[in-house]
Amino acid sequence: MKATAAPSDATLTVDTSRRAAGRATAVPRGRKPLSWKKLSTPWVYMAPAMSVLLLMTVAPAIFIFYSAFRNDKILGGAGKFVGLDNFITAVTNASVQHAFLITFGFVAVAVILEMILGFALALPLAAQTRANKVGAALMLLPFAVTPAVAAMVFKQLLNPNYGWVGYYLGIFGFPKGIDLLGDPTSAWIVLVILDIWQWTPFIALILMAGLQSLPGEPREAAMVDGASPWQMFRHITFPAMVPFIAIAAVLRTIQAFKTFDSFKILTGGGPGESTEIINLGIFRVGLQSFNVGLACALGVVFLIILSLLIPFMLRIIGRRADPEEM
Amino acid sequence: MTTTSSTSRGGAVARVIIGRTFLWAWLLIGLVPLVFMFITSVKPAGIANQIPPAWIFQPTLENYASVLSAGGGKSESFGQLLANSAIVSLGATALAIVVGVPAAYALTMKDFRARKGLSSWILSTYMFPPIVAVIPVFVFAGKLGLMDTYPALIIPYAAFNLPIVVWILRSSILQLPYEIQEAAMVDGASTWNVLRRIIWPLLVPSVATAAVLTIVLSWNEFLFALSLTRSGAKTAPVGLQQFTGMYGTDWGNITAAATLIVAPILVLMVVLRRQMVAGLTFGAVK
Amino acid sequence: MKTTQLGLGAWDLPWRKQGGKMTRSFNRIKRSRVAAGLAAALTVTLLATGCTGGSSAPNASAAKPAELRMLYTTDEANSAAVASLVPQFKEKFGIDLKIDNQPYDALQQKVFSEFASSSSYYDIVVVDTPWAPALVQNLEPLSQYLENGALNPDGPESNVGDFIPKVFYDTAVYNADSPIKRYPDPKAKPDVSTIKSAGFDVYGMPIQSNVAVMAYRSDLFNDPAQKANFKAKYGKDLTVPKTWDDYAQVAEFFTQPDKKLYGTTVMAGVGDWATDDFKTLLASQGGDGTLADENGKPTFDTAEGVQALDYYAKLAQSGHVPPGSTSADWGTTAESFGSGLTAMTINYHDLKLADNVKGGTIGYAPVPTAKAAGPHFGTWMLSVNKNSKNKEWAYQAISWLTAANQQTTMTAKSLHPSRTSVYSGIKSDNPLAPFYDTLGKSLAEGVGRARLTNYTEVSHEVAVAVNNAATGAASPSDALKSASEKVSALLKSAGY
């Protein structure tokens, strides 16, 4: 066992000597039952953080499970138990099904595009030159912009009568005064572009770190052997990048499911209901129509779906990124 | 580098050119919204939304002055909203660090059998969609009279960022050589003292990273601020909406307000670039 | 409550060990504590029920508070106008009037959550018509206050008979047991005893009355060149349109790309404003502009409804409205007209032209009609919080604020008055005289919303249908049919 004492211990010994007297010194694990103090200390340290987390996750989850079976409205009075009504509405309502579908669609499309574009940005920026430092800093700027602000700025840019986008597109031959937010397809394209604009730097940064951490020897050896760029990418670069790709993809997906600001500000769910993702739907039902019961039922369904989807992804990060297991 | 065939070198040059062109095109186009935002904010009132866009004009700070002053039936000045954002962000960060450091430490204690399960659980709370949490919090904040108060935002913000904060801190602690802790414990130091005197000083860079992350994400948060505040604790991103109303949009004012919201984060970007990068990639980039 | 299972077993240990010793002493303390607690609870309950007897008569000599707190809007109900009266209020009553201004969405949330928690913080609350049916039980009925002579020292000036009848009945008169009911005789001069004997009561004093009004660029309509062109093209004189067909024609005429001009605006974005555009058209075709009847059945999926929506969709797609109209709302259309982009508009307040619109002048007229007239209207009212501790003084405050003199004063800040005498008293040299003239006339014809507790949800479905028809995503009849089904389901789940 390592027995050398660090010099800084001089400051520690005085006030802890009493405790030290009653305590066993370094003993191989598993030989002696752990003292009460040793058992409870980690829990004491965990307690504040756990209270905060329990308060904001488990407690709300309990509330929504409870409320979903009732029809409380915000003005209270007595809501009554309505059994599965809210759930039936939630699951069978065509608008709700549509909302879930477009949410998943959006997440899938956005994340995939961001991964590809992130890679395309990370490759040129990986080399550590001064120009690249500047480039990386510039690339990061959109990421620093508050999403609500970015959405507002995009909205102004897209104003059909006064926005720059409409004007300059008009010069390039598009119909004048084009209303990109008034058509479902173009509105979706705009929303995805906004998401890409904001989040690709995030992916690119992580991938850059991955590229910069690649050891040089395998690459050099492959070049000596005359490998083509594609072969090099496929057999050397890509496999080494997998942990980084995994973290980036999973983190980005979790965040993408939380998207709210851009949709609320750019389209508010319109045109029609074509961009009303589930987050917007729950917000509208719960905090604008004050139908708490239905909103909670929708929340429960959403939570269940995420609980099935995410742990699968988390196992990927956990396995690849946990320093203890690496 | 060893030699390669001429075709693959030519191919390599082509790829580099395409790569760099793409990069610079991306950067240029990507900066347009920011350029628009800033330029419009210094345009005088009459030409703010003029088409074709005016590129040559006399810049003015009148929009900023107007935005930062209160009055005229508005309930609060934007300066007050920025202050609220700052209070809430710093409060949430302080809370997250104060509860996160001990928790991260606990999760590295070798005798703590539950640590793997707890780590997973904490990380899994990251996926809890805020929209699902906002309704119960809204109902209870109302009942407890906490609506439109700072704690109503500080606690949720700390909770949202705690999983990542703990993750970052925990990885950092695990990377410290265990001998340091062991030596201190052999000498009879309590875990508290180990944490305070040995681990904490070494942890400060990671704490800075985690703090920067929490500040930025709290500053930018919109959903909870929108739902839980009215005027007392309203934050700047929500307040941005007040420049669009029944009478139209005040372009100069709204872009000035937007610039004011984004400016502090951009400053942080420049001053604390490494922490920002590390923090915003959740510790994946050191 | 379900206990979490996160290995908190470790926490139990210390408690269990000392449990035995603790429970014994706890029991002893418990018994005396419980007795005291019960006694306290009993007293409190007795006091509480004594104090909050809902039907107790207003006390004319209630203690005067130092301040009254009011929850109000920002621009939506012209907060600047009310704010301008605060010093005068202090002079008259010796009370500080503290006003909390909130924009629409935040205001609605705050109003609802204040009532949900039975808060007594705000004495006076501003209520918009769509919210009133859900809130009626939380508002103090005012008939007893209105009839109490001591509380109404300003006599005739503040009496309800002076309110525009349709506005008054639509805004403030409800049957608390069945809020969906409308007062049977909306053109009768308001009188408290008649209202009471019909089973209704008064729940607020109307303050800002909004109705759809048409605004147009009078300089363009008077321009000789334009008039000549119009006559040449259509063979008749250019006049301010009175029918919807004329309106469409004039809009076509004024779409002049060389002048960067469009005919008019529509607010076809998904939101309450689109529903309002539609119900105005529906009422003018002879349909039911309130959108649902008193049995809780939707009434807009009819021949008139399809006719109205068809017209609207054609107008939205005609190119005679500016681009972006299918995402437009109140603010966007005001901006379009204000910057000189359109020759006409329909909106709910007076408009201003930007400085760069040279020589522009604005005229106002009632919105066009077809078989009937029924511009959408909705009025804000000041109500007394049932939980307030200063109800008598709150009543006097709102009575004074909405009295004829004060409303006249507030017209200097463009308030939309709710009293007939104020409209007839507007002097012709008032710069907004034409606007007020049209406003008054339109309010007399206005049609309100159905009194549904879940009106916002119903309105959303109708707005989606209007938007789909306007963009061409659905045919008007399909859109209306789909909306009607959804609304029926919504109404059923609301208990109608």
Residue-wise pLDDT for A106-142, tens only, equals: 999 999 999 999 999 988 888 778 888 888 888 888 9
Distance from CA of C161 to the nearest CA of A (A): 33
Is C334 in contact with B143 (Cβ distance < 8 A)? no
Asked if the peptide bond before residue B52 counts as cis, ω within 30 degrees of 0, the response is yes
- Selected residues 293-332 of chain C with any CB under 8 Å from a CB in chain B: 330-332
Quickly state the pLDDT bin for A314 (edges 50, 70, 90).
low
pLDDT at position A232 is: 76
Closest residue in chain A to residue C337, using alpha carbons only: A161
Q: Look at chain C and count its residues.
A: 496
The residue ranking higher by pLDDT, B286 or B1, is B286
Query: Which chain B positions have a beta carbon within 8 Å of A43's beta carbon?
Result: 106
pLDDT per position as a tens digit, C453-476? 889 889 999 999 999 999 999 999
Determine phi and psi for C473, rounding to 5 degrees. -70, -25
Percentage of chain C exceeding pLDDT 90: 65
pLDDT per position as a tens digit, B115-124? 888 888 888 8
Is a pLDDT exceeding 50 seen at residue C22?
A: no
Percentage of chain B exceeding pLDDT 90: 29
Quickly state the pLDDT bin for C210 (edges 50, 70, 90).
very high
Is a pLDDT exceeding 90 seen at residue A233?
A: no
Is C323 in contact with A177 (Cβ distance < 8 A)? yes
Closest residue by Cα to residue B283 from B180, B179, B174, B194: B174
pLDDT at position A33 is: 66
Are the beta carbons of B182 and A26 closer than 8 angstroms? yes
* Secondary structure class of C341 (helix, strand, coil): coil
Is a pLDDT exceeding 80 seen at residue C38?
A: no
Residue C440, C-beta contacts closer than 8 angstroms, at least 6 positions apart: C164, C417, C420, C423
Residue A187, C-beta contacts closer than 8 angstroms, at least 6 positions apart: A180, A181, A266, A267, A270, A271, A274, A275
Query: Which chain B positions have a beta carbon within 8 Å of A99's beta carbon?
Result: none
Residue C95, C-beta contacts closer than 8 angstroms, at least 6 positions apart: C64, C65, C66, C67, C68, C89, C393, C397
The residue ranking higher by pLDDT, B75 or C67, is C67
Cα–Cα distance, A182 to A161 (Å, whole number): 13
Distance from CA of B236 to the nearest CA of C (A): 15
Read off the amino acid at residue B105.
Y
Of the listed ranges A83-87, B100-104, C25-29, the one predicted with least confidence: C25-29
Read off the amino acid at residue A152.
M
Instruction: Mark out chain C residues that contact chain A at CB-CB < 8 A.
Output: 1-2, 4, 6, 10-11, 13, 105, 108-109, 112-113, 115-116, 134-135, 137-138, 269-271, 322-327, 336, 341, 454, 456-457, 460, 464, 467-468, 471, 473, 493
Is a pLDDT exceeding 70 seen at residue A325?
A: no
Cα–Cα distance, C84 to C74 (Å, whole number): 13
pLDDT at position A8 is: 38
Residue C43, C-beta contacts closer than 8 angstroms, at least 6 positions apart: none
pLDDT at position A15 is: 36
The CB density around residue B47, as the number of other CB atoms within 10 Å, is 15
DSSP-assigned letter for residue C339: T
Q: Look at chain B and count its residues.
A: 286
Q: Does B200 touch chain A (CB under 8 A)?
A: no
Quickly state the pLDDT bin for B102 (edges 50, 70, 90).
very high
Distance from CA of A25 to the nearest CA of C (A): 24
Distance from CA of B35 to the nearest CA of C (A): 24
Cα–Cα distance, A9 to C382 (Å, whole number): 72
Is C101 in contact with B242 (Cβ distance < 8 A)? no
Is a pLDDT exceeding 60 seen at residue A78?
A: no
Closest residue by Cα to residue C58 from C399, C398, C395, C402: C395
Of the listed ranges B73-82, B170-179, B277-286, C288-297, the one predicted with least confidence: B277-286
* Mutation target among C11, C105, C113 for the B interface, most CBs of B within 10 A: C113
Q: What is the mean pLDDT of residues B141-169?
A: 90
The residue ranking higher by pLDDT, C92 or A319, is C92
Q: Which of A140-144, B156-160, B241-245 has the highest mean pLDDT?
A: B156-160
pLDDT at position C76 is: 84
Query: Dihedral of CA B131/B135/B138/B141: which sign?
Result: negative
pLDDT at position A175 is: 79
SS3 content of chain A, % helix, strand, coil (to 5): 75, 0, 25
* Secondary structure class of B256 (helix, strand, coil): helix
Cα–Cα distance, A51 to A48 (Å, whole number): 5
Cα–Cα distance, A185 to C301 (Å, whole number): 28
Are the beta carbons of C168 and C206 closer than 8 angstroms? yes
pLDDT at position C218 is: 94
Are the beta carbons of B130 and A258 closer than 8 angstroms? yes
Residue A311, C-beta contacts closer than 8 angstroms, at least 6 positions apart: B124
Is a pLDDT exceeding 50 seen at residue C15?
A: no
Closest residue by Cα to residue C380 from C156, C170, C184, C209: C209
Q: Assign residue C16 a region (left: φ > 0; alpha: ψ between -120 and 50; beta: otherwise).
A: alpha
Residue A284 token pair = 């509208």
Q: Closest CB to B73: pick one of C80, C106, C356.
A: C80
Q: What is the mean pLDDT of residues A212-223?
A: 79
Query: Which chain A positions have a beta carbon within 8 Å of C457's beta carbon?
Result: 285, 289, 291
* Mutation target among C5, C69, C75, C347 for the B interface, most CBs of B within 10 A: C75
Cα–Cα distance, C244 to C374 (Å, whole number): 13
Quickly state the pLDDT bin for A9 (edges 50, 70, 90).
very low
pLDDT at position A10 is: 37
Q: Look at chain A and count its residues.
A: 326
Percentage of chain A exceeding pLDDT 70: 84
What angle (nearest 5°) sits at the alpha carbon of residue A35, between those of residues A32 and A38? Answer: 115
Is a pLDDT exceeding 80 seen at residue A24?
A: no
Of the listed ranges C60-64, C68-72, C88-92, C165-169, the one predicted with least confidence: C60-64
Percentage of chain A exceeding pLDDT 90: 26
Is a pLDDT exceeding 90 seen at residue A224?
A: no
Determine phi and psi for A173, rounding to 5 degrees. 105, -5
pLDDT at position A18 is: 41
Read off the amino acid at residue C223.
D
pLDDT at position C52 is: 42
Across all residues in chain C, what is the average pLDDT? 86
